[in-house]
Amino acid sequence: MPQSTSNRAKAHSAAKKRSAARSRDTAEPVDNVTTVYNELRSLIITGQLPPGARVAERAVVARTGHSRTPVRSALHRLQQEGLVASVGRPGDQRLIVTPLTDADGHEVFLLEGHLEGLAARQAASLPLERRQQLAHRLREINRGFAAAARTRTAPAKLFSFDHQFHETFVEAASGPRLLALHGSLRPQSERYARLYVGVLLADLPNSVKEHEAIAAAIAKGNRAAAQRAAERNWMNAARRLAKVIVKQGERGTRRPAKA
Amino acid sequence: MPQSTSNRAKAHSAAKKRSAARSRDTAEPVDNVTTVYNELRSLIITGQLPPGARVAERAVVARTGHSRTPVRSALHRLQQEGLVASVGRPGDQRLIVTPLTDADGHEVFLLEGHLEGLAARQAASLPLERRQQLAHRLREINRGFAAAARTRTAPAKLFSFDHQFHETFVEAASGPRLLALHGSLRPQSERYARLYVGVLLADLPNSVKEHEAIAAAIAKGNRAAAQRAAERNWMNAARRLAKVIVKQGERGTRRPAKA
DNA sequence: ATGACCATTTCGGTATACCAAAATTTTATA
DNA sequence: TATAAAATTTTGGTATACCGAAATGGTCAT
């Protein structure tokens, strides 16, 4: 352990044994960078790292206990996905949590709808049996969604239903690349979604109907209708979102707060 | 320079002074990782790094003269974009140049068309003047394309025309996120495109017509037509591609060759 | 007080040493 | 010679030291 030559001790070695243990039987030997990535993503999505907040490598290092290398990788990943943005010209660059703006939110939802529209269209192109089976599963989820909506369930639960619905038909009908694109976009829309959870709750019946339209089109094998229905679902969400943002003001466009 | 304690000298310090010099007036102070990234991307696209070839960090380090850190970042980026893929379970992971397969090529082209379809639709939604202006520019490019096509110009030149055409309307009408998605997809389709350059050449007149259809729809402000035209352009390309791939066999699905 | 100026800290970029697992080559034994 | 075992190399993951630029904070002269 060649750190004795270091001038200041900088208590650091405390509590570190994380990686190394690569147990083969845990069935999920998560990478260190993935761990950090997931942790940060969660913090950002839930707003615990607010929009506009500085995200300093070293701060993350201190918080997570990992070294700079994996942290750096995780940050790169977040940056490419757009959850984190770098400000300042090359050679400088500070990282901040991407601000939530009207324009950006609109684009995210538009793209999400566009991609899911493609997925829905492809789902409607599946062979009859698979397609029926998928529609059945979708309706099942949507029933749960509707039921939860009627009973003032906790927002997190509602999110989960909605998320599951979308994820289901996207996964069923997409190739790996569409899946990857959608996967990198999803956390972003989710971040916005949490912002307008209030409005969403008032509008649940519409969401349920829109979902049913998607399921129905898939069941019938009507490609165009499936695509339109998926797109409409997101467009409507975007419209609702816009109202909330103008009402609440954008987030993170001001001076950065520290993490 | 604390490397005197190193046991083996490992001639390394020779010819290194690259970074550091951050001249402010070169107008483009490219990041080191970006440099490596561009270099590798180019090698992959042109096929000098063939599909399925191993891409070892240290080999890249040796070739480029940069250290592992920026190389690693560049590789991560290539990986996320799909030009490079990791094989083996987490904890191991070897990187290879993503193989070119029928299915993957199809999906890439489909997605590219889908995204550009959205861009075209948005372009057709621009205010009258901007839209006309854009259409004018597009037709100009397409004229050059057509002229070059008639004179057996070098493939590289033809690519450039085609690429410029698409880039023009995408940049004109897309938000930053769509732009980013499209930008990360483009190198991939380009890679496939080089594979079937022969077939492409035989089909240039069709490409020119398809481009004209896009420009016309944008000029008229016909959103649906613009979207369809852009999608059709890529669908046709995908069809041609498929023929070539089945004829030539997929690339890189065999044992990896070294870089 | 206020503003210019300098010391300190923070930050991302970079280079490099170390490690364990895997692959590869060499060696030794049947 | 064939094959198993051992030694070596390769590889990606990780930790960490160093650097220069920028931000920050404090001090002192006005």
Per-residue pLDDT of chain B (259 residues), as tens digits, is: 333 323 333 333 333 333 333 333 334 567 888 999 999 999 999 999 999 999 999 999 999 999 999 999 999 999 999 999 998 766 678 999 999 999 999 999 999 999 999 999 999 999 999 999 999 999 999 999 999 988 888 888 888 999 999 999 999 999 999 999 999 999 999 999 888 777 777 888 999 999 999 999 999 999 999 999 999 999 999 998 888 887 777 777 654 444 4
The whole-number pLDDT of residue B27 equals 46
The whole-number pLDDT of residue B198 equals 77
Q: In the predicted model, what is the mean pLDDT of chain A?
A: 85
The arithmetic mean of pLDDT across residues A143-165, rounded, is: 91
The whole-number pLDDT of residue A91 equals 63
Residue B69 distance to chain A (closest CA, Å): 8
On chain B, the residues whose CB falls within 8 A of the CB of A180 are 82
Q: Which helix (H) or strand (E) holds A87?
A: strand A84-87
The arithmetic mean of pLDDT across residues A12-18, rounded, is: 35
The arithmetic mean of pLDDT across residues A160-188, rounded, is: 96
Question: Which of B24, B79, B80 is the best residue to mutate to test the A interface, defined by the most A CB atoms within 10 Å of its own CB?
Answer: B80
β B84-87/A84-87 pair status? unpaired
The arithmetic mean of pLDDT across residues A53-62, rounded, is: 94
Q: Which residue has the higher pLDDT, A24 or B75?
A: B75
Tell me how far apart the alpha carbons of residues B128 and A220 are, in angstroms, rounded to a whole number: 39
The whole-number pLDDT of residue A244 equals 82
Q: Hey, how many other C-beta atoms are within 10 angstroms of the C-beta on A254?
A: 11
Q: Which of A191, A160, A167 is closest to A41 using CA atoms?
A: A191
The whole-number pLDDT of residue B91 equals 61
The whole-number pLDDT of residue A252 equals 67
Residue A133 reports pLDDT greater than 50:
yes
Q: What φ, ψ does residue A215 adopt, rounded to 5°?
A: -60, -40
Q: Does A180 contact B30 at a Cβ distance shorter than 8 Å?
A: no
| Residue B86 CA distance to nucleotide C28 C1' (Å) | 37
- Residue-wise burial string across B33-69, b where 16 or more C-beta atoms lie within 10 A, e elsewhere: bbbbbeebbebbbeeebbbbbebbeeebbeebebeee
The whole-number pLDDT of residue A124 equals 97
Smallest Cβ distance to A82: which of B89, B118, B177?
Answer: B177
Residues B165/B138, Cβ–Cβ less than 8 Å: yes
The arithmetic mean of pLDDT across residues A206-211, rounded, is: 94
On chain A, the residues whose CB falls within 8 A of the CB of B76 are 73, 76-77
The whole-number pLDDT of residue A142 equals 96
Q: Which residue has the higher pLDDT, A257 or B180?
A: B180
The whole-number pLDDT of residue B8 equals 31
